[in-house]
Chain A
Amino acid sequence: MPCSALARRRRATLAVGLVGAAAAFAARIALGAGDAARGWWAPGQGGTLPAESSYPNPSGRLGVLSASGPVEATGQPFFTPLGKNGRACVTCHQPSDAFSLSVDTIRARWDATGGGDPLFAAIDGANCPNLAVADPKSHSLLLSRGLIRVFLPWPPRARDGGAIEPEFTIEVVRDPTGCNTSPEYGLTSAHPTISVFRRPRPVANLRYVTAAEFGVGPFNAKDSQPTARDPDTGRLVNMQLMADAREPTLATQAQSAVVTHLEAKPLGAAALQKLIGFETQVFAAQIDDVRAGALVEPNGPAAFGPHALSVGRTSVLGNNTTNYVFPIGDAWRQITRTGEAAHDARSAAREAIARGHDVFFFRTFWIKDAMHINTVGLGNPAKRTCATCHGMHMTGMDTANGWMDIGTTNLPWASETPQNPWTKDKPEMPLFKLTCDKALAPHPFLGRVIYTQDPGRALITGRCNDIGTIVMQQFRGLAARAPYFSNGSARDLRELVDFYDRRFNIQYSEQEKQDLVAFLAAL
Chain B
Amino acid sequence: MTPERFFEIRCLALVASIALGVVVRVTAQTPTAQPPPEPRALTAGTHRSFVDCPVVRDTNTVPCWLAEHDGELYYLGIQTDISADFHPPYLGHRALVEGVVKDGARICGGIVLDPVNVSTLPEIDGTCNTILPAEDRYQVPFAPRPPGPSAGRLAFAPPPGAASAKPALTGPQEFTIEYDFDTPIMGRHSGVLTRIYDYAAQTHARHLLVTGYRGATLLSDGSVMTERETMPEARAKEVATLLIGAGLPRGAIEVGWSTDVAPPDGDGDWHVRRTVVRVEP
Contact = CB atoms under 8 A, between A and B. Distances in A.
A221 B187 contact: yes
B124 A380 contact: no
Contacts of A374: 90
Interface string A338-381: 00000000000000000000000110101011001011111111
B198 interface: yes
B187 A441 contact: no
A70 B250 CA distance: 50
Contacts of B185: 224
A320 B91 contact: no
Contact of A224 (B82, B91, B190): B190
A226 B242 CA distance: 6
Contact of A322 (B82, B151, B247): B151
Contacts of A382: 63, 79, 88
A324 B149 CA distance: 9
B247 A218 contact: yes
Given A225-B242, A362-B148, A364-B147, A381 B188 contact: no
B190 A229 contact: no
Interface in B62-120: 62-63, 65, 79, 81-82, 84, 87-93, 120
**Contact residues on A (Cβ < 8 Å of other chain), bracket:** 35 or more
A220 B88 CA distance: 20
B90 A444 contact: yes
13 contacts: A219-B189, A221-B82, A227-B246, A319-B148, A321-B152, A364-B147, A366-B131, A377-B84, A377-B188, A378-B87, A441-B122, A442-B123, A445-B90
A217 B92 contact: no
A444 B58 contact: no
A364 B148 contact: yes
B88 A379 contact: yes
Interface string B244-272: 01110000000000000000000000000
A366 to B, nearest CB: 7
A46 interface: no
Given A377-B82, A442-B122, A387 B193 contact: no
Interface in B177-211: 182-190, 193-194, 197-198
A382 B186 CA distance: 17
A388 B148 contact: yes
Given A361-B149, A379-B56, A444-B90, A218 B79 contact: no
Contacts, number: 135
A220 B189 CA distance: 10
A246 interface: no
A222 B187 contact: yes
B186 A217 contact: no
B153 interface: yes
A219 B193 contact: yes
A324 B84 CA distance: 22
Contacts of A377: 81-82, 84, 87-88, 187-188
A384 B124 CA distance: 23
Contacts of B89: 379-380
Given A321-B152, A387-B148, A388-B148, A380 B90 contact: yes
Given A379-B89, A383-B58, A224 B186 contact: yes
Given A219-B190, A374-B90, 12 more contacts: A218-B197, A224-B185, A224-B189, A224-B190, A319-B148, A323-B152, A368-B91, A378-B79, A381-B131, A384-B147, A385-B148, A445-B92
B12 to A, nearest CB: 27
A375 B152 contact: no
Contacts of A442: 122-124
B56 A381 contact: yes
Contacts of A379: 56, 63, 65, 79, 87-90
A217 B242 CA distance: 13
A219 B197 CA distance: 9
A321 B149 CA distance: 6
B173 interface: no
A374 B149 CA distance: 17
A229 B186 contact: no
Given A218-B194, A376-B187, A361 B90 contact: no
B150 A319 contact: yes
Contact of B242 (A219, A362, A381): A219
A135 interface: no
B122 A229 contact: no
Nearest to A220: B190
Contacts of B92: 369, 380, 444-445
B187 A224 contact: yes
A231 interface: no
B146 to A, nearest CB: 9
Nearest to A229: B247
Nearest to A322: B152
B22 to A, nearest CB: 41
B151 A321 contact: yes
A436 to B, nearest CB: 12
Interface in A172-231: 217-227, 229
A366 B91 CA distance: 12
Nearest to B90: A380
Contact of A381 (B91, B124, B149, B183): B91
Contact of A223 (B63, B151, B186, B247): B186
> Most chain-B Cβ atoms within 10 A of its Cβ — which of A224, A226, A376?
A224
Contact of B149 (A362, A383, A441): A362
B84 A218 contact: no
B194 A217 contact: yes
A20 interface: no
Contacts of B182: 441
Nearest to A227: B246
A329 interface: no
A435 B145 CA distance: 40
Contacts of A364: 147-148
A264 B87 CA distance: 49
A319 B148 CA distance: 8
A376 to B, nearest CB: 5
A303 B249 CA distance: 45
Contacts of A376: 82, 187-188
A447 interface: yes
Interface in B154-191: 182-190
B78 to A, nearest CB: 10
A379 B151 CA distance: 21
Interface in A286-336: 319-324
Nearest to B177: A224
A165 to B, nearest CB: 11
